[in-house]
């Protein structure tokens, strides 16, 4: 490859990570303060910094980010606790002032009197009364009264009776419930108080709430316009590149004939040792969807078809497992695909490699089972002070305890060693920018970027911790794994003779430049409202708009896959036909789920009202399952096709699974998640975000109708999509091909 390609990649990485480091520096320096003392107007101490951080710990330990949300990050069916406290605080403050001045409740006053009190509350809430020298936060009289009245409210919510999808007496310790209220009070202060020297709050005026005086400021409109300009400019640049360089993408280059040697393939022993991975993957997939069904059902009744199982499986656990298992099965499928491809490419199996594969399998199994059990024990408060290490870490998508997280990182390092041992012969005499080295770089980047999820601890400021969390959720999953899978797919086509190594390598370089060029800084679209500085919103909104650009290219390329494989006049004779169909589905969902649905909620002004509604979930389901899930299924089908005997393979089961998963996912979105998100966003605009996430709205008739309609999509997804895949892979366990005897030189 030309040095210009390498220089371009280097510049993209330097510029991207330099900007991201700057954003992290600004986040740490401008994070909302944790006051050492919170006092009322008379100077009486209400609570201390230790109480706030202890409350954050309670929030994490009991998995409340998987029940509701904080600063809009977390689950979508419970309340957002920062917004809920803020609105209740404002309502209590208005009534208190109305009684003090007019001897009436606020809603009994005329418009003029209401306007006066609203102006007073808005002024009081916006004024920053934090003294950085004494590290003391002084609440107004009405704020202090609100705090005292909200203590019994949240004590009841998490105690004897509640409207949340949780069992009664969920948090048994009254002190922990009090600390939780103090954490919510701090969050509401962050949402309503202006940054020093600024005319907007720490959360850029989020959440929308007329009672508290929160409304979008000029920056939200301006950066939304800039985001649209970047999108239009990026798409125009894409069209230019496609016209100027028609060879970009998966274009056949006449380098050779396609090879379809599946029926005669003799796997290495390390490859046959990988089959248990794929069995575990499909079983985790099955369990993940099962808990997804249970979680969705909790929205329509306090139980599961008449059985109140909340005391055993509270909503916090079912949703945690639904998210955690999705990461587990998708990541395990990709790791296994890498270990399968490596010896196939190098035609080399190092001595004792199959033992390393088996050891890693046991390690992954321990992490999966240990973390799942630990999360349940942590939420049940059975681990004491060790909850963060072995229980529920408390962060969405990173629920597993820190010990299991570290063990999983170690497992990824072992995986990198396994892959390196297999591809070592390919590296000899090769340029450091060649295809084998790109595979090595992709492999090493996976444990490296996953480790950034350990940059915070229970005492870390929420805004700073969330900055690092998204390095894993966005940068690791959507950036590094995206790059790794592109490399695997490139090698997939190379191994089958569809494209030359140079052609595949050019696709990888384009992927790095476009995906990481937009995705590294594009992580900022998660930072709009999490109490991070406005510069993060500015950079994130503009650069993340460019993430749509490579998705348009990938969608066009996906349909080229069909023209790359022609066997005996029909692509259906190709052994990997259904694996390729899933790759085509990836292209479709990448554009729709990540591109269209992603950009729909990306501009700050739209995100301001829809943030933490079902429209976010709509994007999440379409992108996570539609892109990464479908990619994983393609990896499963590609690998197991070589490992099971030809007589055991069943194209009909693969076909049913393909259509079941895709149609089921589409129906979930069309019948439930998308329309529910639309009406939720409208409610957020008309009445405030607190109302859009309130139990009253979630249990309203229209929202419940959309929830029940989801049953059709769920049934098709599970019965026609997951079950056939599980049956096909389990059946293959009893019909594995005999491994090649490398000791005798047999390959």
Q: How far is CA 266 from the centre of its chain?
A: 38
pLDDT at 746: 42
Q: 253 or 141: whose pLDDT is higher? A: 141
pLDDT digits (tens, 9 = 90+) for 439-467: 999 999 999 999 999 999 999 999 999 99
Average pLDDT over residues 351-371: 96
Write down the residue that tokens 């996976």 correspond to: 446
Phi and psi torsions of 696, nearest 5°: -60, -40
**DSSP letters of 319-352?**
HHHHHHHHHHHHHHHHHHHHHHHHHHHHT---TT
pLDDT of residue 422: 95
Q: What is the mean pLDDT of residues 652-677?
A: 97
Residue pLDDT, tens place only, 100-128:
999 999 999 999 999 999 999 999 999 99
In the predicted structure, residue 495 carries a pLDDT above the cut 80: no
Task: Flag whether pLDDT at 484 surpasses 90.
Answer: no
Q: pLDDT at position 300, please?
A: 82
Query: Which residue, among 676, 609, 602, 714, has the nearest Cα to 322 in the 3D structure?
Result: 714
Give the residue with greater pLDDT, 78 vs 37.
37
Confidence of residue 745 (pLDDT cuts 50, 70, 90): very low
pTM of the model: 0.94
pLDDT computed for residue 235 by the predictor: 82
Q: What is the pLDDT of residues 401-436, one digit of tens each?
A: 999 999 999 999 999 999 999 999 999 989 998 888
Region of 511 on the Ramachandran plot (φ > 0 left; ψ -120 to 50 alpha; else beta)? alpha
Contact between residue 276 and residue 360 where contact means Cβ atoms under 8 Å apart: no
pLDDT digits (tens, 9 = 90+) for 27-69: 999 999 999 999 999 999 999 999 999 999 999 999 999 999 9
Lookup: tokens for 206: 């989020």
**Mean pLDDT value across residues 13-19:** 95
pLDDT at 712: 96
Tokens of 412: 């990824």
Average pLDDT of the chain, as a whole number: 91
Phi and psi dihedrals of 69, rounded to 5? -150, 170
pLDDT at residue number 191: 98
Q: Supply the pLDDT for residue 573.
A: 72
Q: Could you write out the DSSP letters of every residue in 58-119?
A: HHHHTTGGGTSEETTEE-SSS-BHHHHHHHHHHHHHHHHHHHHHHSS-GGGS-HHHHHHHHH
What pLDDT is attached to residue 513? Answer: 85
- What's the CA gap between 404 and 392, in Å, rounded? 10
Question: Which stretch of 21-25, 140-144, 428-432, 686-690 has the lowest confidence by average pLDDT?
Answer: 428-432
Structure tokens at 441: 């770089």
Long-range pairs for 25-29: beta carbons < 8 A, 24 or more residues apart = 26/532, 26/533, 26/535, 26/536, 27/463, 27/464, 27/467, 27/527, 27/532, 27/533, 27/536, 28/464
Q: State both tokens at 74.
A: 């977390």
SS3 450: helix
Q: State what percent of residues in the chain have pLDDT above 90.
A: 74
pLDDT of residue 239 exceeding 60: yes
Q: Read off the pLDDT of each residue in 564-581 and give the average, rounded to a whole number.
A: 69
How far apart are the C-alpha atoms of 318 and 298, rounded to whole Å? 10
HEC readout, 587-614: HHHHHHHHHHHHHHCCCHHHHHHHCCCH
Read off the pLDDT of each residue in 290-300 and give the average, rounded to a whole number: 89
Provide the CA 452 distance to its chain's centre, in angstroms: 15
**Residue 263 confidence (pLDDT):** 84
CA distance 688 to 676: 16
- Cβ atoms within 10 Å, residue 197: 6
Nearest Cα residue to 559 out of 577, 581, 584: 584
Average pLDDT over residues 470-496: 82
What domains lie within the chain, and their CATH numbers? 46-213 (no CATH), 244-273+547-740 (1.20.210.10)
State residue 568's pLDDT score: 46
Interval 514-569: pLDDT, tens: 878 888 999 999 999 999 999 999 999 999 888 877 665 555 555 555 555 554 45
The pairing of strands 37-39 and 45-48 is: antiparallel
């Amino acid at each position: 490859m030309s040095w210009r390609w390498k220089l371009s990649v280097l510049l993209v990485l330097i510029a991207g990570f330099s900007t991201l480091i700057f954003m992290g520096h600004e986040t740490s320096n401008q994070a909302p303060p944790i006051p050492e003392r919170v006092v009322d107007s008379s100077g009486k101490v209400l609570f201390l910094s230790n109480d706030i951080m202890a409350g954050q710990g309670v929030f994490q330990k009991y998995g409340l980010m998987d029940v509701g949300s904080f600063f809009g990050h977390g689950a979508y069916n419970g309340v957002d606790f920062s917004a809920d406290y803020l609105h209740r605080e404002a309502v209590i403050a208005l009534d208190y002032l109305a009684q003090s001045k007019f001897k009436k409740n606020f809603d009994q006053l005329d418009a003029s009197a209401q306007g006066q009190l609203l102006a007073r509350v808005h002024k009081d809430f916006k004024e920053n009364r934090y003294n950085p020298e004494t590290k003391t936060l002084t609440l107004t009289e009405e704020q202090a009264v609100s705090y005292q009245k909200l203590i019994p409210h949240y004590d009841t919510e998490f105690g004897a009776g509640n409207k949340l999808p949780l069992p009664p007496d969920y948090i048994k310790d009254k002190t922990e419930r009090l600390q939780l209220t103090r954490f919510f009070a701090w969050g509401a202060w962050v949402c309503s108080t202006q940054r020093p020297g600024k005319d907007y709050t720490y959360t850029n005026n989020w959440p929308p709430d007329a009672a508290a005086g929160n409304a979008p400021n000029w920056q939200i409109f301006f950066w939304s316009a800039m985001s649209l300009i970047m999108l239009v400019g990026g798409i125009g640049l894409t069209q230019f590149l496609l016209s100027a360089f028609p060879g970009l993408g998966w274009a056949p280059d006449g380098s050779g004939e396609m090879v379809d040697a599946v029926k005669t393939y003799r796997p290495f022993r390390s490859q046959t040792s990988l089959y248990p991975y794929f069995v575990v993957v499909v079983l985790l997939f099955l369990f993940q969807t099962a808990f997804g069904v249970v979680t969705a059902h909790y929205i329509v009744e306090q139980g599961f078809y008449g059985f109140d199982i909340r005391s055993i499986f509270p909503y916090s656990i079912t949703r945690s497992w639904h998210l955690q298992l999705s990461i587990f099965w998708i990541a395990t499928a990709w790791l296994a695909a890498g270990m399968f491809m490596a010896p196939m490419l190098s035609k080399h199996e190092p001595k004792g490699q199959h033992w390393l594969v088996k050891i890693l399998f046991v390690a992954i199994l321990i992490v999966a089972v240990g973390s799942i059990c630990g999360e349940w024990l942590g939420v049940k408060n059975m681990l004491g002070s060790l909850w963060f290490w072995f229980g529920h870490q408390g962060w969405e998508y990173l629920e597993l305890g820190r010990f299991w997280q570290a063990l999983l990182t170690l497992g990824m390092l072992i995986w990198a060693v396994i892959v390196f041992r297999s591809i070592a012969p390919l590296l000899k005499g090769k340029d450091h920018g060649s295809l084998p080295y790109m595979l090595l770089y992709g492999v090493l980047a996976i444990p490296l970027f996953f480790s950034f999820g350990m940059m915070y601890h229970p005492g870390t400021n929420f805004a700073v911790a969330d900055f690092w969390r998204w390095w894993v959720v966005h940068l690791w999953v959507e950036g590094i794994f995206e790059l790794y899978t592109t490399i695997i797919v490139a090698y997939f086509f190379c191994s089958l003779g569809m494209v030359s190594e140079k052609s595949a390598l050019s696709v990888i370089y384009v992927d790095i430049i476009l995906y990481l060029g937009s995705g590294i800084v594009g992580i900022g679209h998660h930072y709009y409202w999490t109490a991070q500085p406005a510069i993060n919103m500015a950079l994130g909104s503009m650069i993340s708009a460019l993430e749509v650009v490579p998705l348009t290219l990938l969608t066009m390329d996906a349909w080229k896959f069909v023209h790359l494989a022609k066997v005996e006049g029909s692509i259906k004779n190709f052994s990997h036909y259904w694996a390729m169909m899933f790759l085509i589905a990836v292209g479709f969902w990448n554009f729709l789920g990540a591109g269209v649905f992603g950009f729909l909620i990306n501009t700050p002004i739209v995100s301001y009202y829809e943030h933490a509604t079902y429209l976010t979930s709509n994007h999440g389901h379409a992108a996570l399952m539609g892109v990464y899930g479908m990619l994983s299924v393609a990896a499963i089908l590609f690998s197991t096709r070589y490992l099971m005997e030809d007589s055991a393979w069943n194209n009909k089961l693969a076909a049913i699974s393909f259509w079941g998963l895709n149609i089921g996912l589409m129906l979930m979105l069309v019948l439930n998640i998308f329309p529910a998100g639309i009406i939720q966003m409208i409610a957020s605009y008309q009445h405030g975000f607190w109302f859009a996430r309130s139990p009253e709205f979630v249990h309203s008739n229209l929202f419940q109708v959309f929830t029940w309609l989801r049953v059709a999509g769920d049934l098709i997804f599970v019965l026609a999509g997951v079950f056939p895949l599980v049956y096909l892979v389990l059946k293959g366990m009893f019909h594995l091909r005999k491994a090649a005897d490398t000791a005798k030189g047999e390959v």
